[in-house]
Amino acid sequence: MENVAKGFKATLSSLLIIGAIFLGVMETQHFWLAKISIFEQSLYGLFIITILFSSYFSHSSIAFLSAILGLFYITINTNMAWSNWLVANNNWLVVNGFLVCGLLGLIKDRGVLSVHGFYQLILIVLCGVTAYLWLFTSDVFLLFLKANEYSITWGAYLPIEVPLFTVILLLLWRSISTASLSVVALLVSVLVWSFEHYQLLDLPWSITLTILVSYYILVVVVDSYSLAYRDELTGLPSRRALKQLSLSLGSSYTIAMVDIDHFKKFNDKYGHDIGDQVLKLVASKLSEVKKGGKIFRYGGEEFTIVFPRKSLVQSKQELERIRKLIAKYKMVIRDPKRQTKEERSNGKSNNKKVSVTISIGVAIRSNKQNFEQTLKVADQALYKAKKSGRNNVSV
Ligand SMILES: Nc1nc2c(ncn2[C@@H]2O[C@H](COP(=O)(O)OP(=O)(O)OP(=O)(O)O)[C@@H](O)[C@H]2O)c(=O)[nH]1
């Protein structure tokens, strides 16, 4: 559920931002059109950079999409052998574009120069064949309806709109459920592609593609950043992000080191997978911290909370609140084994309810200390909290 909310937020905000950019560019066309040759010349370079950059960071969907759009741009600007065929078969081009985006949204991003990249390429070629067969079949079907004097109003929408809406719904579902920015980029591409098809985007291709390809670069940067700076299990910022924050902190802050009590025993009793679920639940409860506290997964079963511009008393008060919240909270642990039909009908659940406690050590930065030294003092306070019976906050 949490992931769906995240996916919804990422999808909606991306659509709004890219929509606002296109609207803004359309409103200021006179300015951009005066500089069109710059876009036309730099777009080839931008395509090459995007393909190399996304391949390097294993964003195969963005790399393939950029390569296809690059090929399309070369085709419409030069007299390639297949240019005339493409102009005559515009519907194929459009449906093929939708299908490729739908396909890339379904398969996992992998290295481009790998056997997976090769399979993806074959599937992309198959999309072209599928688009051709789809248009051929729908033409035959529509001719059949006409010959038999059937009148179906939606018949006219069969060749283009049916695949378009299917792919939009598929990508919407994928982008919301995975919260992946690459999938959102595919959705945006389908929308832009269809807006161009219906001539709703009053912009030359060089400008439309410059916006789209720059957006792809941004997606790869943001995605790679969050891979490097986010902890995969809990979704919290990682220790590397804490180090980054330490460089921009002012001189007044407190640091709290948080550690789950007897977590080894917990792992031994319930298993590592359930231990992982507990880590996620503790992380989500810690995220409810107020007073501007910033939470990080320090490593293992340890978390760090930094309170910029807060006194020791203020931080301790908030940490006490969070400690009590976690101690009181009954965590429902999902059993990985499927319940039998009988257990379900008896209302019996294999899910377990467990509770854990945390110990916290907190320290305020004094004039003579840097970030690492303050962290060390917080760690010593945590040791004190453990020594004095756990489930408490020590200074
Ligand atoms: N499930 C799971 N366990 C982890 C992870 N990271 C660290 N651990 C476990 O966390 C446990 C930490 O144990 P200890 O450092 O001995 O401390 P403790 O059992 O929490 O006891 P106290 O800190 O003294 O209260 C070890 O069993 C690690 O295997 C993780 O990502 N997932």
**How confident is the model over 18-26, as a mean pLDDT?**
92
pLDDT band at 390 (very low <50, low <70, confident <90, very high): very high
Q: What angle do CA 222, 238, 107 make, to 5 degrees?
A: 45
Is residue 280 in contact with ligand 1, taking CB distance under 6 Å?
no
Q: Distance from the CA of 329 to the center of ligand 1, in angstroms?
A: 20
Which ligand 1 atom minimizes the distance to the CA of 274?
A: 1
394 - beta bridge partners? 361
Probe ligand 1: pick from 234, 264, 383, 390, max atoms within 8 Å of CB?
Answer: 264
Residue whose CA is at the smallest distance from ligand 1 atom 28: 264
Kindly list the structural domains of the chain, giving each domain's residue range(s) and its CATH number in brackets, ordered by start.
2-229 (no CATH), 239-394 (3.30.70.270)
Note the ipTM here. 0.93
**How confident is the model over 368-389, as a mean pLDDT?**
95
pLDDT band at 221 (very low <50, low <70, confident <90, very high): very high
Is residue 259 in contact with ligand 1, taking CB distance under 6 Å?
yes
Q: Distance from the CA of 275 to the center of ligand 1, in angstroms?
A: 9
Round to whole Å and give the CA distance between 69 and 61.
12
Listed range (4-13, 250-259, 379-388) with the worst mean pLDDT:
4-13
Q: Are 159 and 134 in contact (CB under 8 A)?
A: yes
Per-residue pLDDT at 352 exceeds 70: yes
Is residue 263 in contact with ligand 1, taking CB distance under 6 Å?
yes
Question: Which of 362, 365, 366, 357 shows the shortest CA–CA distance to 390?
Answer: 357
Q: How many residues does the chain have?
A: 395
Interacting residues of 247 by C-beta distance below 8 A, sequence separation 6+: none
Q: What angle do CA 53, 58, 59 make, to 5 degrees?
A: 75
pLDDT of 62 reads: 95
pLDDT of 146 reads: 78
Residue whose CA is at the smallest distance from ligand 1 atom 30: 300
Question: pLDDT digits over 98-132, tens only?
Answer: 999 999 999 988 888 888 889 999 999 999 999 99
Interacting residues of 375 by C-beta distance below 8 A, sequence separation 6+: 255, 257, 304, 363
Question: Which of 381, 394, 362 shows the shortest CA–CA distance to 253?
Answer: 362
Q: Quick one: tokens of 260?
A: 């789950």
Which ligand 1 atom minimizes the distance to the CA of 276?
A: 1
Q: Distance from the CA of 302 to the center of ligand 1, in angstroms?
A: 8
Q: Distance from the CA of 233 to the center of ligand 1, in angstroms?
A: 14
Round to whole Å and give the CA distance between 131 and 168.
16
pTM for this model (two decimals): 0.73
pLDDT band at 338 (very low <50, low <70, confident <90, very high): low
Residue whose CA is at the smallest distance from ligand 1 atom 24: 262
Is residue 294 in contact with ligand 1, taking CB distance under 6 Å?
no
The CA radius of gyration of the chain, in Å to the nearest whole number, is 27
Name residue, tokens 């919290």.
236
Q: What angle do CA 1, 272, 265 make, to 5 degrees?
A: 120
